[in-house]
């Protein structure tokens, strides 16, 4: 397990209560210190990603969830700003397509799991399927499920499927790190007002932002249930206080850095049969320089 920010980690879901985690906490770290630590972590992530790509064995999946305005987009953009895009993918899971709805709910997700040597980022994820339809059960009919399959244990079964899916990824060599950006209702109100007050942010505002805000308690319960059911040592959740964006970004960056450092990856040596080819390439390039070609 990563050594930093263990106070935010949930590896065993039993007894988990979202109310025990303060959205405004920042562990006595001030804004300037957080910025410095974040930049150090971003540089470290970039360096270690090169080793991840070179080894082509392990992969990393970072899952981001949170209420509207929690800062998912900004956190992802900032934390992974130094990463080579050739070895990284970001997938945002919107409403499932008609084809998706004819498959099991994890079908579209598995296709975007990061291959060996890559970092994958889910901006919203497979957890949407135990959040939105749970808060709005009237939408569940869109999944085209047989009525007999939607019984009292339906949500428990779906959460079990998610846990098994993440275990499958872990057994393949994918390190799964899940971040719940925990924002308070008051801070969400402030950020929604900011979107309305600033012309360059108005485009972000959707009428559904206010209607979904009316289901705040239901979403908090759905998140608590999901985190409790799926927090494991191989796929931990991090309950990241998100009222201060600068603190949330520091936590995520340092967890990702610790995750990559724990792999202790080194740049692999060339295979023995490549040495002759490398020597020949060097000689050819040096000869070019001497001839002025």
**Residue 261 has what pLDDT?**
97
117-130 pLDDT, tens per residue?
999 999 999 999 99
48-86 pLDDT, tens per residue?
999 999 999 999 999 999 999 999 999 999 999 999 999
Contacts of 179 (CB under 8 A, 6+ apart): 62, 63, 64, 65, 66, 75, 237, 238, 240, 252, 255
Helices 31-55 and 72-79 cross at an angle (nearest 10°) of: 60
Give me 210's structure tokens: 């206010």
**Residue 277 has what pLDDT?**
81
For the chain, what is the mean pLDDT? 93
Residues found in the chain: 293
pLDDT at 1 over 70: no
Instruction: Compute the average pLDDT of residues 246-256.
Output: 98
**Residue 3 has what pLDDT?**
61
Q: Please name each of the domains of the chain with its CATH number.
A: 6-291 (3.40.50.300)
Of 274 and 177, more confident: 177
4-49 pLDDT, tens per residue?
789 999 999 999 999 999 999 998 899 999 999 999 999 999 999 9
Contacts of 267 (CB under 8 A, 6+ apart): 50, 51, 54
* CB-CB contact of 235 with 178 (8 Å): yes
**Residue 293 has what pLDDT?**
55
CA-to-CA dists, residue 86 to 58, 257, 282, 288, angstroms: 16, 19, 26, 30
Of 190 and 205, more confident: 190
Instruction: Compute the average pLDDT of residues 285-291.
Output: 81
pLDDT band at 202 (very low <50, low <70, confident <90, very high): confident
Helices 245-261 and 31-55 cross at an angle (nearest 10°) of: 30
Instruction: Compute the average pLDDT of residues 137-156.
Output: 94
Residues 6, 120: Cα–Cα separation, whole Å: 22
């Amino acid at each position: 397990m990563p050594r930093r920010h263990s106070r935010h980690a949930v590896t065993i879901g039993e007894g988990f209560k979202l109310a025990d985690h303060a959205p405004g906490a920042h562990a006595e770290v001030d804004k300037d210190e957080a910025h410095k630590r974040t930049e150090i972590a971003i540089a470290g992530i970039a360096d270690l990603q090169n080793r991840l790509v070179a080894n082509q064995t392990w992969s990393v999946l970072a899952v981001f969830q949170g209420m509207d305005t929690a800062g998912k987009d900004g956190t992802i953009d900032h934390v992974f700003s130094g990463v080579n895009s050739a070895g990284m993918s970001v997938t945002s899971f919107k409403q499932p397509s008609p084809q998706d709805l004819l498959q099991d709910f994890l079908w579209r997700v598995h296709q975007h799991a990061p291959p060996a040597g890559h970092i994958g980022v889910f901006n919203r994820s497979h957890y949407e399927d135990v959040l939105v339809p749970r808060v709005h059960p009237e939408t569940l009919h869109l999944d085209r499920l047989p009525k007999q399959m939607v019984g009292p244990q339906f949500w428990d079964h779906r959460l079990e499927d998610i846990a098994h899916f993440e275990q499958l990824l872990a057994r393949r060599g994918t390190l799964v790190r899940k971040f719940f950006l925990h924002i308070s209702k008051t801070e969400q109100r402030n950020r929604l007002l900011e979107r309305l007050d600033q012309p360059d942010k108005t485009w972000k505002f959707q009428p559904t932002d206010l209607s979904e805000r009316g289901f705040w308690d239901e979403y908090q319960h759905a998140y608590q249930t999901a985190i409790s059911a799926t927090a494991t040592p191989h796929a931990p959740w991090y309950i990241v206080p998100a009222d201060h964006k600068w603190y949330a970004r520091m936590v995520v960056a340092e967890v990702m850095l610790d995750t990559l450092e724990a792999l202790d990856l080194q740049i692999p040596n060339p295979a023995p049969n490549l040495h002759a080819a490398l020597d020949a390439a060097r000689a050819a390039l040096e000869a070019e320089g001497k001839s002025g070609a």
